[in-house]
């Protein structure tokens, strides 16, 4: 058995590109930014809710489970951990934004409060 799996636990999520995440946000998906508040000065994603990774499980009770959920961080590492946690909690439509806010910015998608070079 894989070291992190439990029998009967279906904990899967998908990795999606920033462009797909942007399209899903416009269609009503929930975007959760799991960075710490001190990191938000480097840019915020429009319509993203900031829930630092350590607070994600407590916040999960407030999420409508019928809504698609996407997670993002700076590079995609922490948000991947968060997506795995939500999937383990039984969320069925969970995605990680591949490459995080860094890839989002490189794709030329909207960022609030970020300086572009």
| Predicted confidence (pLDDT) per residue in 35-60, tens digit | 999 999 988 998 999 999 999 999 99
Asked, for residue 7, whether it belongs to a domain, the answer is: no
Whether residue 51 contacts residue 32, with contact meaning beta carbons closer than 8 Å, is answered with: yes
Asked, for residue 76, whether it belongs to a domain, the answer is: yes
Q: Please name the residues in contact with 17: beta carbons below 8 A apart, sequence gap of 6 or more.
A: 97, 98, 99, 103, 107
Residues that are catalytic:
73
pTM of this prediction?
A: 0.87
Tell me the average pLDDT across 48-77: 96
Range of the domain at 84: 14-106
| CATH, residue 102 | 3.40.250.10
How far is residue 101 from each of residues 8, 43, 44, measured CA to CA in Å?
A: 33, 8, 8
Percent of the chain with pLDDT over 70: 87
Which tokens go with 33?
């930014």
Asked, for residue 93, whether it belongs to a domain, the answer is: yes
Asked, for residue 54, whether it belongs to a domain, the answer is: yes
């Amino acid at each position: 058995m894989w070291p992190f799996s439990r029998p009967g636990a279906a904990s899967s999520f998908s990795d999606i590109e920033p462009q797909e995440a942007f399209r899903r946000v416009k269609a009503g998906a929930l975007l959760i930014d799991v960075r710490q508040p001190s990191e938000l000065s480097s840019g915020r994603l429009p319509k993203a809710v900031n829930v630092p990774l350590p607070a994600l499980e407590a916040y999960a009770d407030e999420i409508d489970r019928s809504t698609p959920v996407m997670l993002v961080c700076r590079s995609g590492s922490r948000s991947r951990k968060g997506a795995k946690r939500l999937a383990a909690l039984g969320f069925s439509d969970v995605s990680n934004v591949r490459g995080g806010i860094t890839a989002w910015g490189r794709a030329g998608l909207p960022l609030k409060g970020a300086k572009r070079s």
